[in-house]
């Protein structure tokens, strides 16, 4: 398996781990990898009348930088634009919205999940 394929597989695994994390906390997964021309939304979740747009960052280690550090202001603007596109086409257009960044890293044969709620605002 080449490096790009490994990276893509790691990303999909991290998104599945993050989705399970949210489901265990009572969230309903509405969409996974929702694509727009502005970018992709990794996870769109619903709970208690509100929506969560979760950006999942999976790394094999945090040696160089924390995974969330890659969600800079430019990436945030693209995620916000993609979320607005989604909201315009969804029945949840008036729901409260939250943006989370979820860091997923392997630990002792399992996965460590660190969820940064309200990582940035709409």
Tens digit of pLDDT at every position of the chain (122 positions): 788 888 888 889 999 999 999 999 999 999 999 999 999 999 999 999 999 999 999 988 766 667 677 899 999 999 999 999 999 999 999 999 999 999 999 899 899 999 999 999 87
pLDDT at 7: 83
Q: Where are the beta strands (DSSP E) in the chain?
A: 28-36, 39-47, 50-58, 97-107, 110-120
pLDDT at 122: 78
- Strands, sheet with 28-36, edge to edge from the N-terminal-most edge strand: 28-36, 39-47, 50-58, 97-107, 110-120
pLDDT at 6: 83
Taking the C-alpha atoms of residue 31 and residue 20, their distance in angstroms, rounded to an integer, is 13
Taking 3-state DSSP, the helix, strand and coil percentages for the chain, each rounded to the nearest 5, stand at: 35, 40, 25
pTM surpassing 0.85? yes
Residue 33 φ/ψ, nearest 5 degrees: 60, 50
């Amino acid at each position: 398996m080449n490096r790009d394929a490994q990276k893509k597989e790691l990303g999909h695994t991290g998104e599945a781990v993050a989705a399970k994390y949210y489901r265990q906390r009572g969230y309903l997964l509405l969409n996974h990898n929702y694509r727009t021309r502005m970018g992709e939304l990794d996870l769109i979740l619903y709970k208690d009348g509100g929506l969560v747009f979760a950006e999942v960052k999976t790394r094999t280690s945090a040696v160089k930088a924390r995974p969330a550090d890659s969600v800079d202001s430019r990436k945030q603007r693209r995620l916000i634009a993609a979320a607005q596109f989604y909201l315009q086409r969804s029945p949840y257009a008036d729901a409260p919205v939250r943006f989370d960044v979820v860091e997923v890293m392997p630990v002792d044969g399992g996965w460590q999940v660190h969820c940064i709620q309200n990582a940035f605002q709409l």
